[in-house]
Chains A and B, each alone.
Chain A
Amino acid sequence: MNIVVFIRQILDPQVNLEGIDYFDESKINADDLIINPIDKNAIEGALKFKDSEGATVTAVCVGDLKPEKAVREAIAMGCNSGIVVNSKDIFSHDPLIMAKVYHKVLEKIGEYDLVMIGGQVMPTSSYAEAPILAELLDIPSVLYVEKLEKKDDAFIVSRVLEGGKEIVQVPLGKSLFSISDSEYFIPRYTSMRGIMMSKRAQIPAWTLEDLGLSANDVGQDISDLEVLSLENIVIEKESFIISEGEPEEMVDKLLEKMKEDGIKLGGA
């Protein structure tokens, strides 16, 4: 079983850049780039099949910053190999364009059985790459997967639904799964052996030309998505925040202020 996992590299959300500054590339320190957290869940899903079925897992990162770093981490977690597509020409805000690049990557890889991808790009909450890629590939797909197991001749998939979950059955064969943040997919840590492997690994860097694409095919000009502005959200709410003092003092302050404002805590 050959599995391709697509991972995105993002700026660590813990980094001290608020609002629009977070998206300002000139402020980004390459050391703060991490794998989009939910994509690690997808890696874990693929590695579970490596453990149980002997699957071969390839991690692919398309990005213009330090995609090798993300792929090396994926290998350190246990992926067999990795590929990067490093191009500044890709308009990565458009999920259609990203999915088209992924589609070409899969065509070039040729032999694959499963495609796995994180359910969401965290900073923008974008989730559309997976459904778009599934549609381009025209293969069976299940999104927002929270558990994935192979049983006899089918994948038994549990997917998240509002207020519950749905069990879905997919026959074995080429399929795509987008993975959500669940207990089953809590990512493993990198191992010592993995880190050694990742250091030695040769990571091919494909160009757009290698994929049969040109800058015109994937650039902002061709995209229907037009970003008009990016602004900070100013919440006009006045919050009374208590950040100093012993716990008891803080609680007292809170209760006092609430009493002053005429807000009742209720009570049974």
Chain B
Amino acid sequence: MTGILVFALIRDGEIEENVLGVLNKVKNFTSLGDVSAALLCEQAKDEWISTLGKHGAKKVFVVEAPELSTYLSRAYVKAMLEIIKTADPKVVIGGGLVNVEDLIPRLAVHYNTTCLERVTDLILEGDDLIAITPVRDDQAMVKMKSKGEKIFITTRAGAFFIDENPEGQEPEIEKLTVSFDEKDRIVKSVEILKAKKTVNLKDAKIIVAGGRGVGGKDKFAIIKELADLLGGEMGATRACTDLHWIEETYEIGQTGQSVSPDLYIAAGISGAPQHICGVKAKTLIAINTDERASIFKYCDYGIVGDLHQILPILKEKIK
């Protein structure tokens, strides 16, 4: 039993980028053995396998089946258990997304062990893999490890950097066959509704984003006005899209877009980890009525005040 198995989630026809971040993190833990990847899909593309190799996977285990065309827990658990049985890794790890958080803990159950969740860093101390997870809105962190014979880990979205110039080789490929039955098809995916990707926040240099503190659908106008005035884009937190104050396409954070602008104005945003993990700004300005809001720890500049008072004045002054 040796090595690290990385679950390679496919999203929108590509290897999801958190997979590459995780590969980059674990490929240096050579004392734990080789890194391999588990690719579950209807039909594997050569480019996926090359990408996994480049980013550090020495070997890719592939299971192909129509049942795996989209993530459904039962079929994915079955296929992953087969790969784990074959690969016999010490560590099974997946990065970030909802479906990974669905899958990895389920696998742990079959080995009667725990799952280390939403890890943002991993450190190798001797042969011990130490996981770090922030808690209490990122005010504190837990250092922990698993004593399990196998170690199951999920990581927080965006936790690890992707190697921009990966130099890995073409990996070895092992295809496994898994048969599925009626029970594996009980839960059916009817359709996946994507938020309209009309707003490209990824490349925006300036973003003005609103959170729950904006206070309502009709109150978003000031966010948009300021964004327009600055020549930037408007963004929002998950809470706002959930409450239908603004369309999902504007969402920034774990379940939305990841952004890296020069300037980020966070208005009425508390700074919850799920949001902050998607923001890497050169300069962050926070405006919030609650002086204890964790956003003030991340910001470069902060104003403790009501955004509906501050932003209109800011707008006038910039004009």
Contacts and interface: CB of A to CB of B under 8 A. Distances in A.
A and B assemble together: yes
Contact of B297 (A235, A247, A258, A263): A235
Contacts of A230: 135, 140-143
Contacts of A141: 73, 187
A247 B311 CA distance: 9
Contacts of B304: 241-243
A142 B93 CA distance: 21
A161 B304 CA distance: 33
Main SS at interface, chain B: mixed
B257 to A, nearest CB: 7
A226 B263 contact: no
A139 B281 CA distance: 43
B98 A162 contact: yes
A132 interface: yes
B283 interface: yes
A185 to B, nearest CB: 10
Contacts of A229: 142-143
B115 interface: yes
Given A135-B109, A168-B190, A22 B116 contact: no
A221 to B, nearest CB: 10
A242 B141 contact: no
Given A20-B140, A96-B109, A250-B305, A168 B135 contact: no
Contacts of B302: 239-243
B170 interface: no
Contacts of B263: 263, 265-266
Contacts of A263: 263, 283, 300
B300 to A, nearest CB: 6
A164 B301 contact: no
A160 interface: yes
Main SS at interface, chain A: mixed
Nearest to A142: B187
Contacts of A118: none
Interface string A158-174: 01111111111111000
A32 to B, nearest CB: 14
A135 B106 contact: yes
Interface in A116-157: 123-128, 131-132, 134-136, 140-144, 146, 156
Interface string A231-268: 11101010111110001101110110110000101111
Given A163-B248, A163-B257, A239-B300, A131 B106 contact: yes
A13 B99 CA distance: 27
Contacts of A203: none
B36 to A, nearest CB: 22
A94 interface: yes
Interface in B271-319: 273, 283, 285, 291-292, 296-306, 309-310, 313-314, 317-318
Interface string A192-206: 000000000000000
A89 B137 CA distance: 27
Contacts of A252: 317
A223 interface: yes
Interface of A: 13, 18-20, 22-23, 94-97, 99, 123-128, 131-132, 134-136, 140-144, 146, 156, 159-171, 181-183, 223-233, 235, 237, 239-243, 247-248, 250-252, 254-255, 257-258, 263, 265-268
21 contacts: A20-B140, A22-B140, A96-B108, A99-B109, A125-B134, A161-B255, A166-B191, A168-B187, A169-B190, A171-B186, A181-B242, A183-B243, A224-B148, A226-B147, A241-B304, A250-B310, A251-B314, A263-B283, A265-B318, A266-B206, A268-B231
